[in-house]
Amino acid sequence: MSKKELLLGNFAVARGAYEAGATVATAYPGTPSTEITEYIAQYDKINSEWSTNEKVALEVAIGASIAGSRSIVSMKHVGLNVAADPFMTVTYTGVNSGLVIAVADDPSMHSSQNEQDTRYFGMAGKCPVLEPSNSQECKDYTKMAFEISEKFDTPVILRLTTRISHSQSIVSLEDRITDEEIISRPYDKNPDKYISAPANARKRRVIIEERLGKLQEFTNNPENNLINVEYNDKAIGIITSGASYQYAKEVCPNASFFKLGMVYPLPKEAITEFVNNCDKVYVIEELEPIFEKEIKSWGLYVIGKEIFPTIGELSPEIIRTCLKEAGELESKSLVTYEVQEDLPVRPPVLCPGCHHRGPFYILKKLKLNVSGDIGCYTLGGVPPLSAIDTTICMGASIGMAHGFEMAKGKEFAKKSVAVIGDSTFWHSGVTGLIDIVYNKGNSTVIVLDNSITAMTGHQENPSTGKTLKGDMAPQIDFVALGKAIGIKRVVEVDAYDLEKLEEVIKTEVNAEEPSLIITKRPCILIKGVKFEYKDLQVNSEKCNGCKLCLRIGCPAISFNNETKKAEINKSLCVGCGLCVDVCKRSAIELKEKKD
């Protein structure tokens, strides 16, 4: 087959896994990595699933590898923190069939709580890291990663970044290796290798160091296609990788380039030769100065973070400005141009009709201390709702609420709640809840159950009743689970019933034992979700301009400064009726019921 397609980087990774003969794929959704597994799910020959979290996803993939299937696990950078425990040991045990760990970093934190550089994980685990710079390489490197994994008996990290995951470029498609060629190995029953007890682990530790040396030899060899050296104007040499290569190439098309495909371990001999062949060498890498520090440790002179930023994404404009400030403006390697970046700012906001809005409105009204979590509902911290006080990481809200109580006592617990979404609860909230019960805590936990993993684009999870492939699945029941772990006070409440919601929250925070409140309503963007009313409007005779309805932060409601009355944008309003409940003057009128 010789077909070309315009593919998103993430789709190209999925295609690479398919062509390489992978038969198992796992993931927990997380922007910017989510589409890898969504796309893989379209291939019938790959047994794929959403796991409850990244640790489980990696453990499933490790099991599949040892059992003899090429396996790929995908996650965002913070997901690797969750999966760090099995990761740091599977690098010791090694693999049977190839194991690829696709990790997407998010420089500039477009949709993340922090900025991490996954190359550090590669170094910490002594695990090879490949980094593609376009969609074609996303596919090719995924295939190579399986081969390297098997050749060197190691998992391989495929490091992506937001721009590479979410950019499109042309990819040549090839056939999947045939079923006969697929490296389906027998189950590897090898306890000395796979039981990482001290006696075995000490032996494997030596093997890891030997493996690193062999990987370095491998990447040094240009025939293995993991380094790309282009000599042009030798006045400026640039060592780079990934998206930074594309930016640097745009700014300095005439410079000499050393592009790295394997970003850990580094090809020392080849880099040394390049540095010695150029008059001056810049290291251009996004986030941490990892290449730069290592190259300098070899006694070579290169320029890196002295002029380029450590924080955030790079761009052609940033690179051009930094080189200009370093005095390279006159260099023939550099092209100059101006880019206008005056796009309007569009701050994130909960959707009109979102069911999280009501609970946050009540929590703010009751002036409770709220530990929040990761999901759409993190937007409950944004004005005018401003209802949550903390967000640290997936599942942290519940343990933190217990921490509030440990620090300040039971009375403080009665003024505090934890708020978490359904998918995040299954990911890593449930263990915090068990901790509260076991340690006789008093906290109130609110699960905002919108029956989907909404923030990453509507993936299935244990409360949706469906699998990644769309098959029916057991629906794990919050009420049954809460009771099973010993919580006596478990209450379900309609998220749009503000009166009831307020009453329930007031009662439960004052209870002398832990409570679990589940606010139930599907995400309004789920197909088929409809509201009862339409054609809402503000009766200008009743409206006194108090602005109470603006406190719920619905994008469909605005205030007309000339008439001094609230207004509803009919093209945005979905008719949830929340503002009707909030307005004390009954000024928001439901004109008619939907059929």
The span from the CA of 36 to the CA of 115, in Å, is 21
Cα(592)–Cα(583) distance, rounded to whole angstroms?
18
- For the window 313-352, what string marks contact with ligand SF4 as x by the rule CB under 6 A? ---------------------------------------x
Written as one letter, the residue type at 511 is A
How many Å apart are CA 412 and CA 400, to the nearest integer? 13
User: Is residue 501 part of the contact set for ligand SF4 (CB under 6 A)?
Assistant: no
Which of these ranges, 137-145, 173-181, 360-368, 541-549, lies near ligand SF4 under the rule CB under 6 A? 541-549
State which residue, 400 or 524, has the beta carbon closest to ligand SF4: 524
Residue type, 582: V
Judged by CB under 6 A, does residue 545 bind ligand SF4?
A: yes
CA-CA-CA-CA torsion sign (223, 225, 226, 229): positive
Under the binding rule (CB under 6 A), the answer on residue 380 touching ligand SF4 is: no
DSSP states of 310-325 as a string? Answer: SSS---HHHHHHHHHH
Any contact of residue 498 with ligand SF4 (CB under 6 A)? no
| Binding of ligand SF4 by 127 (CB under 6 A) | no
| Contact region with ligand SF4 (CB under 6 A), list: 27-35, 97-105, 340-348, 575-583 | 575-583
> Contacts from 329-333 at CB under 8 Å and sequence distance 24+?
331/233, 331/235, 331/236, 331/252, 332/233, 332/235, 332/254, 333/232, 333/233, 333/235, 333/236, 333/252, 333/253, 333/254, 333/255
If one asks whether residue 385 binds ligand SF4 (CB under 6 A), the answer comes out as no
Single out the residue of 164, 215, 238, 574 in contact with ligand SF4 (rule: CB under 6 A): 574
Which residues have C-beta within 8 Å of that of residue 221, sequence separation ≥ 6?
none
Query: Judged by CB under 6 A, which of 554, 561, 571, 591 binds ligand SF4?
Result: 554
Find out whether 95 and 203 touch, Cβ atoms under 8 Å: no
CB 387 within 8 A of CB 380: yes
544 is a contact residue toward ligand SF4 (CB under 6 A):
yes
Instruction: Give the span between the Cα atoms of 203 and 215, in whole angstroms.
Output: 19
Interface residue with ligand SF4, options 265, 353, 358, 514 (CB under 6 A): 353
* Residue 538 binds to ligand SF4 (criterion: CB under 6 A): yes
CB of 533 to ligand SF4, least distance (A): 7
Q: Which of 253, 400, 556, 591 binds ligand SF4 (CB under 6 A)?
A: 556
Euclidean distance between CA atoms 178 and 501, whole angstroms: 57
Nearest approach, Cβ of 458 to ligand SF4 (angstroms)? 19
Tell me the number of residues near ligand SF4 by CB under 6 A.
27
Who's near 186: CB < 8 A, 6+ residues apart? 68
Stretch that binds ligand SF4, among 245-253, 261-269, 395-403, 538-546 (CB under 6 A): 538-546
Q: Which residue ranges make up the site for ligand SF4 (CB under 6 A)?
A: 352-353, 536, 538, 543-549, 554, 556-557, 566, 568, 573-579, 583, 585, 587-588
